[in-house]
Amino acid sequence: MGRYRSAPWLNRCGVTDEGCAALASALKSNPSHMRQLDLYGNKLGASTLTLLSAGVKDPHCKLEILR
């Protein structure tokens, strides 16, 4: 279970902008748990990527790889 908190592989699984908004919220509320996030192959809008980028810029965020 701990593996998925640190390295969720969500590539090519149909994650939507709404799903990414939830991920961005999770990053903001729990910035120290996730180290990697793979969203490759999902159709994400620019506003969603902006939300995720803002979460990554948080000094408490431990996300090292965002793909």
Tell me: the pLDDT tens digits for 38-66? 888 888 888 888 888 877 787 888 888 88
Residue spans of the domains in the chain: they are: 2-66
Residue 6 pLDDT greater than 50, yes or no: no
Residue 36 pLDDT greater than 80, yes or no: yes
Answer yes or no: pTM beyond 0.85. Answer: no
CA nearest neighbour of 14 among 59, 44, 52: 44
Q: Are 25 and 53 in contact (CB under 8 A)?
A: no
pLDDT of residue 25: 83
Query: What are 10-22's pLDDT values in tens digits?
Result: 888 888 888 888 8
Residue 40's region, left for phi above 0, alpha for psi from -120 to 50, else beta, is beta
